[in-house]
Amino acid sequence: MNEVKPGTLVLSLNSGSSSLKFGLYRVSDSGIETRIAGEAEAIGEESGKFQAQGPGVRKPVEETAPMPTQREAIVRIGRLLDESALPAPDVIGHRVVHGGPKLRQHCLIDAAVLEQLEAAAAFAPLHTPPALSVIRYAGEHFPGVPQAACFDTSFHAGLPAVAQTLPLPKALRQEGVQRYGFHGLSCESILRQLAQDSPAGPPARVVIAHLGNGASITAVREGKSIDTSMGLTPSGGVIMGTRSGDLDPGILVYLMREKKLDAAAIEQMVDHHSGLLGLSGIASDMRKLHRAAESNDDARLAIEMFCYSVRKQIAAMIAALGGIDLIVFTGGIGEHDAAVRSTICGGLSWLGIGLDESRNQAGSKPISEPASRCRVLVLPSQEDEQIARHAWALLPGAAEGV
């Protein structure tokens, strides 16, 4: 493998079950520069979508074309680099949601790492198989280019025992059944932005509310995760787009005993047909639910329950932190849905937390009112940039701390 050159070109790949976000970055010890940002959507559906923009693209790309698998998306990204007269990347970084108990730190991918990822797929069956496919397809299309696995669980690897340990028999805990936590790359990106905004760095007690189709709440003390709402898998915690979040385990026993559902059927229900979709019977998309809520009681209840579950988790994380200095909203809903932010924070007024509604509507920094006990911010999740930084740092000769 060659030594790192100034301005190493890094391709970040952030895969979902039917989407692939990507970014091409020029990374050096002096910083990071975005060259291309884009996404392939509706992979596996009849009409896939592909869009890309940025200074590395001659003109913005927005097209509709069939993409039966992630392979076609990788091929299209490669063609985009060729069309833009850009070379192949020096390294490819992948967001990997769950590495299981043995892979907790970002690493370069080799045969042993792939084997461990395959073994850990049971911990995140929604996310790991698509990520493995993308890793293999990227290796085929960019032969010889090193690849890196960047784990969402790494940020939470140091959780204190009281938060990490699940109240189950010790034998299961020794097999890796514990709280892992997710959205770690997003949390890292938030802390980096906070550090850039203030010479003193992030405040001591921060709650990060990553709210999107997947959603989690994380308590951060002195830059370290001390508790988080998701558990063994990304299915736990608050209500999400199609995922139930936390459930009484007796419900699962009931479904097995009385409804004769097997593990696959239960997984399908709690991961794909619950949450906002299950509550509303309409959609998992908060924008559609807002439009329907004026005349549909189920849509209105789904929104109320989402905000209620997030508010309860934020309050729990404030208790874990012993107070609060800052709340940050991020993710698709967290960044763009002022009504949801207002409802969540309105239920925290007893803590002295208040929003300036005009600033909240605009997403200004901060969105909290001057008299609020803590600041409230809206910041973009920059997972793809974090992937690029980690992938670059794993190459021989890379400086630390980019």
Whether the Cβ atoms of residue 22 and residue 39 lie closer than 8 Å to each other: yes
300 membership: H or E segment, kind and range: helix 297-321
Can the peptide bond before residue 66 be classed as cis, meaning omega within 30 degrees of 0? no
* 152 assigned to active site: yes
Closest by CA to 138, choosing from 387, 383, 380, is 387
State the Rg of the chain over Cα.
Answer: 21
Quick one: how far is CA 93 from the chain centroid? 15
Question: Which residues in 328-354 are b (16+ Cβ under 10 Å) and which e?
Answer: bbbbbbbbbbbebbbbbbebbeebebb
Tokens read off for 33: 């520069």
Max CA distance (Å), the chain:
62
- 329: three-class secondary structure by DSSP: strand
Contact present, 377 and 209 (Cβ < 8 Å): no
CB atoms within 10 A of CB 103: 19
* Choice among 152, 227, 337, 384 that is catalytic: 152
Amino acid at residue number 345: C
Residue 13: Cβ within 10 Å count: 27
* Burial (0-12, 13-18, 19+ Cβ within 10 Å), 256: middle
Q: What amino acid positions are annotated as catalytic residues? A: 152
